């Protein structure tokens, strides 16, 4: 009965197959590719809605809603067994809607954005394939299947970042993304192994099935050391996929891919996989306050750190990339606090406004004929009004202005930090709250800096470019409008109690990922007070950005100078982290391998000693051969010497 | 007894010697027909071997399709063949790859075609024989017999330094083999003195009964292990491999990587582990250490190779290190993963050498720096290359993942620290393979010689298609393969537990929990 669940991931896979065939043979027209690519994702979205509806029905009848569909036993060796099975609970249901819904909009947008690209079919094959892998990640019933999707999205990310592969830089960025993700996956794999054998060691029938694990963790007291190790190792995987400190370095470079890809993969879906994974395993993480605290702290640190880099970037997509890293930090902060529904809520609203921002930036780049440097933009407001308005609305949302979706979700996270449950959070909540608030203000600042520099003031790109600027086709504009609308009103799905809302998403997720950060430490009044204060600060920040970048554009330069250049340069050069990794890890590894391992160990020592042995043998046999001179005199002489020696030996003895 | 009984009884021998018959026909056929005749014979061999797959009873742990004849009666030497689930899969790997290799060599080999094709078929018989032989002397005959055709293939049809490479290959292998021969003789006489009670037998299942003293076991294990470790090849005995691969013609490289290397790991499974389990457990830390060094070292050295073939050769050192690590986990997951990885590596690395052959035929160079942007001029080639590359780096959903995952899972239960280090090979694998892929396939086509390169021909597609299909099938449906080997693997695990004298510890390793590596302590 629940077999139809498989249609959700398999439809995009089918699309990928057909479009891939089209890409290799050139047998499909652009129109055909369009229709196939969008239809499969569209149907998947409809099915995802049906699934959620069915879950809601189940919930109505009481009990924990959940759909499981097992297809076949995939890997089995001894007592280890993994099924090809899907599991949809409310948490996965929400993710399904995001992946297929936002995914569908981005597919539609892509038909316009990529319309003139010669490798059209290949693009849609990859992006369909991505959708398949992402859905597998979301729906996988066990950690191994989740890992299949996990690596699968990484592969598609690699393929799409390097989509324009004739550009060496872009191909390099794709490879970097894959390798950095592999570092994370290394942690993920080890996490699975520790989990499996850790359970076995306690005499438990180990499994990697999520449903099974939930039962096991519920019924047994598992050693804390094992759980903490598992959670931390899995989190290493999350820092790779979701671009957190220290593995975030690939995401800014990933902007080399086509912009819709940045919106889909590097903002709305794939990069949130880590947040989703932790929520999906909330029952495990809740057993380890240490791991939870690490997650929260890394999230908070990343949120602030990436925001400081966003302040100084000039590439429109780089600003958004660092913003994404920062916003993902908020999500980790939330799930680390045990506020899983807040994390997922922010994941959803972020999918709306960040997808809108990326697609908007794509429309800007499209309008600008490929230009991405905001120093060459300005005054685009009047030329591309739809893009401008949607971009502005999404910016208002990400800044957290009252009433928008961004406000609702970010406020929820900050409230959770303030009310952190000391049983799960080993650092003071006010500290996380302060970091989060500071990051929120920085976000407001760099986002409005971006808006003012791009859309306001005078055009700085020169006359030729100015004539080129044009609004995008409807296929691109409509998704922008939909996403902008969702950015504003999307928060209604989870209006906080403090605003007399009914917190629908929170309740919907309470079974799959129960939130624990709900300890009232500050009163209602104080919470309202802080909320109002933050709103005032946000508006003030917008005003500041307005003054700095529109009223008196000299201020930023002055500010850069006043700050002595050092903090500015650090931020502008992204704290030189890429360079540090390059100098400390990449280069040494290469030179050690080339010069020491290959040049010396392999060629000289190992092979040399063997060749040396061969030479010794040859030399020795040469020497022995020389004794065989064929001269009788020589032989006779040796015989005499030998006999004398023997006689002497006997005589002495 | 019906009329088909003799055929049924001798089915393994038919599979084994059909290529030999083919070789005779090829040698006596006109040169023009040699290619097709050889191809048809290899195809027929594959078709017959499929019977084995379907008639094999996956529930049975012991040897199947057993056939035994007296050979040298007075010495207890027999012609005995039979397969269990492990050798079944390796036999199929051999019969599957050989037609591919022969078809793949159609245009690459223009010189002395008859000899080349004949030798390929001879080689196939040698390899099949080694996989099915159950008499230790018979095994030794096949083991040595397969050395000669390979030596000639490298030495005659190889690159500029072919003679050096061929001699090196020969000397390395023969050095190990001779040690093994001595050990075989010791074992043979031990049987005579102990369980044989004055009779001789070289039948492997008899020899399994011989209980050697721990000290003798160690010596014997070392002798066998050296012979096999050279073939695998394990660090530091691997240096013949890059030379052999670089100099060998494409077909030779494919066979070498896909099947000959598996002789070494198969040797451990069939001989070194069950014959000397006590010593195997005793020396496991050493083997594991070498395996882990091989994984990391092979990957690091692969990373800096300027020649694609050398890169793939060193990657084999790394991948086979995984196989060894899994074998010495002594549990079901580890060993099944290892056997699976043997097959996977055969497909993916065989595929890689075929692909390198495709561009070598067009450009007559294998230097990575000579290429760039090939994905633009040869999109079909790039597509296949990508899939095989992903298979090689163990992307889940393709074959490489299943083996690698099971190996690491199993090995983690036995030796977590070793496994953690080994798992970095997963990262490094992506580094060197994608580095190479980027340099060869991506970037601008700035070398004019690469401009009008022809994409895959129809024949090349037929050569590569089966490999790609199996890469996907084995990634999605590993169950039929795993279930066939499982009884044999379980049997092996039990043997090691029982005979190693560390039943308590090995029992924990077999399927039980062991987060901390347990070093066997001698209590005998």
Partners of A197 on chain B (C-beta within 8 Å) are 412-413, 416, 513-515
Q: Which of B406, B408, B443 has its CB closest to that of A166?
A: B443
Please give the radius of gyration of chain B, using alpha carbons only, rounded to the nearest integer.
22
Q: Any chain A CB within 8 A of the CB of B164?
A: no
Q: Any chain A CB within 8 A of the CB of B405?
A: yes
Residue A603 DSSP symbol: I
Query: How distant is the Cα of B71 from the closest Cα of chain A, in angstroms?
Result: 38
**Among B residues 362-391, those touching chain A with beta carbons less than 8 Å apart:** 373, 375-376, 379-380, 383, 390
Same domain, A595 and A641: yes
- Residue A163 inside a domain? The answer is no
pLDDT of A558 reads 67
Q: Any chain A CB within 8 A of the CB of B336?
A: yes
- CA neighbor of A18 nearest in space, from A34, A2, A6: A34
- The answer to whether the CB of B438 falls within 8 A of the CB of A169 is no
Please give the C-alpha separations between residue A191 and each of A238, A274, B408, in angstroms, as whole numbers.
Answer: 11, 14, 12
pLDDT of B403 reads 95
Q: Any chain B CB within 8 A of the CB of A602?
A: yes
In whole angstroms, give the CA distance from residue A230 to residue A554. Answer: 52
Q: Which of A77, A166, A178 has its CB closest to that of B373?
A: A166
Q: Which of B410, B426, B442 has its CB closest to that of A165?
A: B442
Q: Which of A148, A200, A607 has its CB closest to that of B396?
A: A148
- Put simply, the answer to whether A79 touches B511 (Cβ < 8 Å) is yes
In whole angstroms, give the CA distance from residue B419 to residue B410. Answer: 9
Give the mutation candidate from A21, A78, A122 for the B interface (greatest B CB count, under 10 A). A78
Same domain, A402 and A544: yes
- Put simply, the answer to whether B409 touches A597 (Cβ < 8 Å) is no
- Residue A18 inside a domain? The answer is no
Reported ipTM: the value is 0.89
State pTM to two decimals: 0.91
Please give the C-alpha separations between residue B267 and each of B146, B228, B256, B275, in angstroms, as whole numbers.
Answer: 14, 6, 16, 11
pLDDT of A421 above 80: yes
Partners of B390 on chain A (C-beta within 8 Å) are 155
Q: Which residue has the tokens 């003012």?
A: A452
Of all residues in chain B, the one with the smallest CA distance to A167 is: B443
Same domain, A626 and A479: no
Same domain, A482 and A344: yes
- Put simply, the answer to whether B430 touches A178 (Cβ < 8 Å) is yes
Q: Looking at per-residue confidence, does A608 or A321 come out higher?
A: A321
pLDDT of A555 reads 65
- Residue A52 inside a domain? The answer is no
Answer positive or negative: Cα dihedral of A63, A64, A65, A70: negative
Partners of B423 on chain A (C-beta within 8 Å) are 186, 189-190
Q: Any chain B CB within 8 A of the CB of A164?
A: no
Q: How confident is the model at residue A583 (pLDDT cuts 50, 70, 90)?
A: confident
- Put simply, the answer to whether B406 touches A614 (Cβ < 8 Å) is no
- Put simply, the answer to whether A186 touches B397 (Cβ < 8 Å) is no
In whole angstroms, give the CA distance from residue A75 to residue A85. Answer: 12
Q: What is the number of CB-based contacts under 8 A between chain A and chain B?
A: 163
pLDDT of A494 reads 84
pLDDT of A625 above 80: no
Q: Any chain B CB within 8 A of the CB of A57?
A: no
**Among B residues 239-268, those touching chain A with beta carbons less than 8 Å apart:** 239
The answer to whether the bond into A246 is cis (omega within 30° of 0) is yes
- Put simply, the answer to whether A168 touches B304 (Cβ < 8 Å) is no
pLDDT of B280 reads 92
Q: Any chain B CB within 8 A of the CB of A576?
A: no
Residue A630 exposed, middle or buried by CB count within 10 Å (0-12, 13-18, 19+): exposed
Q: Any chain A CB within 8 A of the CB of B303?
A: yes
For residues A344-351, give the mean pLDDT: 95
- Put simply, the answer to whether B301 touches A593 (Cβ < 8 Å) is yes
- CA neighbor of A396 nearest in space, from A500, A491, A494, A506: A491
State the DSSP string of A208-272: -BHHHHHHHHHHS---HHHHHHHHHHHHHHHHHHTT-TTSTTHHHHGGGS-HHHHHIIIIISGGG
- Put simply, the answer to whether A152 touches B333 (Cβ < 8 Å) is no
Query: How distant is the Cα of A186 from the closest Cα of chain B, in angstroms?
Result: 7
Give the mutation candidate from A9, A22, A26, A75 for the B interface (greatest B CB count, under 10 A). A75
pLDDT of A564 reads 62
pLDDT of A517 reads 63
For A127-174, the pLDDT digits (tens) are 999 999 999 999 999 999 999 999 999 999 999 999 999 888 888 899
Partners of B61 on chain A (C-beta within 8 Å) are none
Q: Which residue has the tokens 């690939």?
A: A250
Give the mutation candidate from B368, B396, B407 for the A interface (greatest A CB count, under 10 A). B396
**Among A residues 105-144, those touching chain B with beta carbons less than 8 Å apart:** 144
* CB atoms near residue B449 (< 10 Å): 13
Same domain, A447 and A402: yes
Q: Which residue has the tokens 């080993």?
A: A426
Three-state secondary structure call for residue B140: helix
H helix or E strand, kind and range, residue B67 = strand B64-72
pLDDT of A446 above 80: yes
| DSSP H helical ranges for A119-223 | 120-139, 143-161, 168-201, 210-219
Number of domains in chain A: 2
Residue A375 exposed, middle or buried by CB count within 10 Å (0-12, 13-18, 19+): exposed
Same domain, A633 and A547: no
For A376-387, the pLDDT digits (tens) are 888 888 889 999
Q: Which token pair is A303?
A: 């949120």
Query: How distant is the Cα of B172 from the closest Cα of chain A, in angstroms?
Result: 9
- CA neighbor of A110 nearest in space, from A306, A278, A359: A359
In whole angstroms, give the CA distance from residue A292 to residue A299. Answer: 11
- Residue A45 inside a domain? The answer is no
H helix or E strand, kind and range, residue B81 = strand B77-83
- CA neighbor of B356 nearest in space, from B259, B250, B467, B242: B250
- Residue A340 inside a domain? The answer is yes
Q: Any chain B CB within 8 A of the CB of A169?
A: no
In whole angstroms, give the CA distance from residue B49 to residue B96. Answer: 9
Between the CA atoms of A263, A265, A269 and A275, what dihedral angle is there, to the nearest 10 degrees?
Answer: -120
- Residue A305 inside a domain? The answer is yes
Q: Any chain A CB within 8 A of the CB of B177?
A: no
Domain residue limits at A619: 584-652
Same domain, A549 and A408: yes
pLDDT of A184 reads 93
Partners of A594 on chain B (C-beta within 8 Å) are 304
Give the mutation candidate from B481, B515, B517, B518 for the A interface (greatest A CB count, under 10 A). B515
Q: Any chain B CB within 8 A of the CB of A168?
A: yes
Of the three residues A540, A557, A574, the one that is the final residue of a domain is A557
- Put simply, the answer to whether A78 touches B331 (Cβ < 8 Å) is yes
Same domain, A408 and A473: yes
pLDDT of chain B, 524 residues: tens digit per residue: 577 788 888 899 999 999 999 999 999 888 888 999 999 999 999 999 999 999 999 988 889 999 998 888 888 889 999 999 999 999 999 999 999 999 999 888 888 889 999 999 999 999 999 999 999 999 999 999 989 999 999 999 988 889 989 988 888 888 888 999 999 999 998 888 888 778 888 888 888 888 788 888 899 999 999 999 999 999 888 989 999 999 999 999 999 999 999 999 999 999 999 999 999 999 999 999 999 999 999 999 999 999 999 999 999 999 999 999 999 999 999 999 999 999 999 999 999 999 999 999 899 888 899 998 899 899 999 999 999 999 999 999 999 999 999 999 999 999 999 999 999 999 999 999 999 999 999 988 888 888 888 999 999 999 999 999 999 999 999 999 999 999 999 999 998 888 776 543 333 344 433 333 333 343 33
Q: Which token pair is A31?
A: 């129109």
In whole angstroms, give the CA distance from residue A480 to residue A475. Answer: 9
**Phi and psi (nearest 5°) for B456?**
-55, 135
Same domain, A321 and A427: yes
- Put simply, the answer to whether A602 touches B239 (Cβ < 8 Å) is yes
Of all residues in chain B, the one with the smallest CA distance to A589 is: B300
- Put simply, the answer to whether A172 touches B438 (Cβ < 8 Å) is yes
User: Which residues fall within 8 angstroms of residue B517, CB to CB, at 6 or more apart?
Assistant: B285, B414, B415, B416, B417, B418
- Residue A273 inside a domain? The answer is no
For residues A546-559, give the mean pLDDT: 74
Q: Any chain A CB within 8 A of the CB of B211?
A: no
- Put simply, the answer to whether B419 touches A594 (Cβ < 8 Å) is no
Instruction: Write down the domain spans for chain B.
Output: 283-500
For residues A110-127, give the mean pLDDT: 91
């Amino acid at each position: 009965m629940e077999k139809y669940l498989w249609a959700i991931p398999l439809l995009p896979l089918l699309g990928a197959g057909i479009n891939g065939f089209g890409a290799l043979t050139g047998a499909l027209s652009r129109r055909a590719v369009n229709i196939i690519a969008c239809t499969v994702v569209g149907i998947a979205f409809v099915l995802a809605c049906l699934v959620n509806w069915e879950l809601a029905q189940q919930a109505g009848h009481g009990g924990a809603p959940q759909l499981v569909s097992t297809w076949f036993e995939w890997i089995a060796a001894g007592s280890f067994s993994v099924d090809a099975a899907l599991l949809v609970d409310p948490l996965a249901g929400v993710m399904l809607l995001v992946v297929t819904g936002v995914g569908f909009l981005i597919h539609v947008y892509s038909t316009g954005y990529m319309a003139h690209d010669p490798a059209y079919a290949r693009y849609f094959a990859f992006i369909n394939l991505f959708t398949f892998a992402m859905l597998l990640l979301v729906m996988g019933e066990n950690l191994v299947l989740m890992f299949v999707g996990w690596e699968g999205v990484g592969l598609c990310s690699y393929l799409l970042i390097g989509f324009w592969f004739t550009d060496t830089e872009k191909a390099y960025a794709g490879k970097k993304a894959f390798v950095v993700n592999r570092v994370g996956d290394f942690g993920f794999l080890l996490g699975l192994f520790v989990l499996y054998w850790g359970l076995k060691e306690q005499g438990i029938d180990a499994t990697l099935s999520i449903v099974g694990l939930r039962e096991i963790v519920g019924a047994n007291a598992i050693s804390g050391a094992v759980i903490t190790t598992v959670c931390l190792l899995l989190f290493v995987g999350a820092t790779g996929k979701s671009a957190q400190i220290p593995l975030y370095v690939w995401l800014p470079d990933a902007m080399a891919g086509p912009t819709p890809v940045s919106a889909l993969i590097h903002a709305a879906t794939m990069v949130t996989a880590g947040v989703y994974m932790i929520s999906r395993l909330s029952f495990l993480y809740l057993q380890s306050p240490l791991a939870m605290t690490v997650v929260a702290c890394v999230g908070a640190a990343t949120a602030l750190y990436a925001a400081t880099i966003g302040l100084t970037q000039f590439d429109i997509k780089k600003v958004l990339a660092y913003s994404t890293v920062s916003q993902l930090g908020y999500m980790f902060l939330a799930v680390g606090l045990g506020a899983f529904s807040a994390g997922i809520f922010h994941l959803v609203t972020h999918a709306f406004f960040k997808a809108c921002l990326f697609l908007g930036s794509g429309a800007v780049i499209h309008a600008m004929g490929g230009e991405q440097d905001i120093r060459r933009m300005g005054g685009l407001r009047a030329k591309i009004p739809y893009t401008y308005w949607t971009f502005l609305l999404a910016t208002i949302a990400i800044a957290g202005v009252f009433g928008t979706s961004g406000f609702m979700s970010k406020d929820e996270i900050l409230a959770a930090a303030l009310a952190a449950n000391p049983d799960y959070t080993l650092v003071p909540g006010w500290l996380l709250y302060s970091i989060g608030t500071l990051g929120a203000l920085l976000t407001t600042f760099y986002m409005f800096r971006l808006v003012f520099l791009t859309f306001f003031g005078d055009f700085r790109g020169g006359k030729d470019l100015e004539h080129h600027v044009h609004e995008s086709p409807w296929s691109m504009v409509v998704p922008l409008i939909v996403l902008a609308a969702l950015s504003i009103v999307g928060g209604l799905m989870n209006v906080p109690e403090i605003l007399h809302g009914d917190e629908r998403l929170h309740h919907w997720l309470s079974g799959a990922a129960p939130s624990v950060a709900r300890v009232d430490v500050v009163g209602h009044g104080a919470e309202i007070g802080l909320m109002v204060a933050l709103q005032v600060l946000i508006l003030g920040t917008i005003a500041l950005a307005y003054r700095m970048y529109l009223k008196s554009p000299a201020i930023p330069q002055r500010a850069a100078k006043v700050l002595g250049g050092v903090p500015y340069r650090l931020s502008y050069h992204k704290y030189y982290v890429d360079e540090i990794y390059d100098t400390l890890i990449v280069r040494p590894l290469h030179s050690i391998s080339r010069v020491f391992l290959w040049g010396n160990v392999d060629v000289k020592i190992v092979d040399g000693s063997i060749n040396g042995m061969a030479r010794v043998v040859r030399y020795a046999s040469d020497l022995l051969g020389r004794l065989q001179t064929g001269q009788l005199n020589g032989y006779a002489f040796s015989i005499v010497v030998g006999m004398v020696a023997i006689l002497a030996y006997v005589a002495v003895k | 007894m019906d009329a088909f009984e003799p055929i049924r009884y001798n089915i393994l021998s038919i599979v084994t010697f059909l290529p030999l018959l083919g070789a005779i026909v090829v040698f006596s056929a006109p040169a023009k027909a040699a290619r097709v005749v050889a191809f048809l014979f290899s195809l027929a061999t594959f078709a017959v071997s499929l019977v084995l797959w379907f008639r094999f009873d996956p529930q049975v742990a012991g040897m199947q399709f057993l056939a035994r004849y007296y050979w040298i009666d007075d010495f207890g030497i027999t012609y005995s063949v039979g397969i269990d689930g492990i050798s079944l899969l390796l036999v199929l790997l051999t019969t599957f790859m050989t037609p591919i290799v022969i078809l793949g060599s159609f245009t690459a080999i223009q010189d002395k075609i008859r000899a080349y094709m004949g030798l390929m078929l001879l080689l196939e018989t040698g390899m099949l024989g080694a996989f099915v032989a159950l008499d230790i002397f018979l095994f030794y005959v096949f083991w040595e017999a397969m050395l000669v055709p390979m030596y000639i293939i490298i030495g005659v049809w190889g690159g500029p330094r072919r003679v050096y490479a061929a001699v090196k290959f020969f000397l390395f292998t023969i050095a190990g083999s001779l040690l093994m021969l001595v050990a075989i003789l010791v074992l043979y006489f031990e049987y005579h003195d102990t369980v044989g009670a004055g009779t001789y037998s070289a039948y492997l299942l008899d020899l399994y009964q011989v209980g050697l003293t721990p000290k003798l076991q160690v010596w014997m294990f070392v002798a066998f292990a050296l012979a096999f470790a050279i073939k695998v090849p394990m660090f530091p005995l691997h240096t013949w491999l890059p030379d052999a691969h670089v100099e060998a013609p494409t077909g030779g490289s494919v066979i070498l990587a896909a099947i000959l290397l598996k002789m070494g790991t198969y040797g451990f499974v069939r001989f070194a582990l069950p014959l000397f389990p006590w010593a195997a457990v005793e020396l496991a830390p050493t083997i594991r250490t070498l395996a882990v060094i091989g994984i990391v070292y092979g990957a690091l050295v692969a990373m800096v190779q300027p020649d694609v073939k050398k890169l793939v050769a060193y990657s084999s050192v790394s991948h086979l290190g995984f196989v060894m690590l899994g074998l010495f986990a002594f549990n079901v997951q580890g060993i099944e993963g290892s056997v699976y990885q043997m097959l996977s590596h055969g497909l993916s690395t065989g595929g890689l050498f075929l692909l390198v052959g495709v561009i070598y035929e067009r450009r007559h160079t294998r230097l990575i720096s000579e290429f760039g942007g090939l994905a633009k001029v040869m999109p079909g080639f790039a597509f296949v290359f990508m899939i095989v590359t992903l298979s090689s780096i163990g992307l889940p959903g393709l074959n490489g993942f299943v083996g690698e995952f099971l190996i690491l899972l199993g090995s983690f239960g036995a030796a977590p620290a070793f496994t953690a280090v080994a798992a970095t090979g997963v990262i490094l694998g992506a580094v060197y393979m994608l580095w190479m892929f980027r340099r060869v396939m991506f970037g601008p086509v700035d070398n004019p010689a690469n401009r009008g390169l022809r994409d895959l021909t129809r024949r090349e597609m037929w050569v590569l298609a089966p490999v790609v299909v199996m890469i996907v099938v084995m990634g999605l449906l590993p169950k039929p393969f795993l279930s066939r080997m499982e009884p044999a693997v379980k049997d092996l695990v039990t043997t090691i537990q029982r005979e190693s004298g560390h039943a308590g510890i090995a029992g924990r390793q077999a399927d039980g929990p062991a987060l901390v590596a347990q070093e066997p302590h001698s209590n005998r």
